[in-house]
Amino acid sequence: MQYEVVGIVGCGLMGSGIAQVCAQAGCQTFVADVDERSIETGLDRIEKSLAKGVEKGKLKAEDVERIQTRLIATTKLDEFSKCDLVIEAVVENISVKRKIFEDLESIVRPDAVLASNTSSLCITELGTTSRRPDRFVGLHFFSPVPLMKLVEVVRGLSTSDETFAAVFNFVSQLGKEPVTAPDRPGFIANRLLIPYLLDAVRAYESGLGTVEDIDKTMTLGCGHPMGPFTLLDFIGIDTTYYISGIMYEEFRDPVYAAPPLLKRMVLAGRLGRKSGEGFYRY
């Protein structure tokens, strides 16, 4: 099974990145968002990313032109009737995601595969929205998508062997490294990462050190590319808070319980890089 025409729902940070790597891999790629402004912002992000690729010698100018001709932006999901595979990459909210899959169900071909880029939600549950649970799968890319090699491929209880194998192979064709992740909140990466980030916040609240000193300890002392607070700001304080809530609801383990400071920061609108202020100012 080959996926030559791909649709991406959402042109934000994740959606635009996924659209870029699909177009770079030779797929005709439709990318949709709610309005023209969101699309323009996403396409501008792709253009800047491709320009960096040329600057670093990873791409040629003629490559960029070919990639851009494969990208088709739209505000209407009707265009997705041509797609072999559609990947949802919108806000981490199950109601929003379910509504998108309900809308897609009457648009995409019966043999098309649907996938969610969720980082924490249950793939089996999302798949119940569709009349094709055997052709429903999780594809968790990592940010920034053009640079990060890993993709978690998540199989729901109803996902067929054929679908899983085809999607796993598709990820490899994108130049990414696929891993098989369980259909449990957080999959593999966030199951390990979220407790670490929450522990860093608790340590800061208890007076272990300043934000800067804790970050410096983990980068210079442990070799991490980012300290926990820099990473929290990059991921988004609200996203981390939301994911931790889903994981705590599933496991009832205190390691997944968000510290009070995270809730206060979300209420105050201090969401990290995207709002201009989190644990650091930008």
Catalytic annotation, residues: 119, 140, 152, 190
Strand 113-116 to 85-88 pairing = parallel
- Spatial strand order of the sheet with 28-32 comes to 71-74, 28-32, 5-9, 85-88, 113-116, 136-141, 150-155, 177-181
Amino acid at 152: E
CA distances from 252 to 196, 258, 259 (A): 17, 12, 15
d(CA 182, CA 190): 12
Strand 136-141 to 150-155 pairing = antiparallel
d(CA 32, CA 71): 11
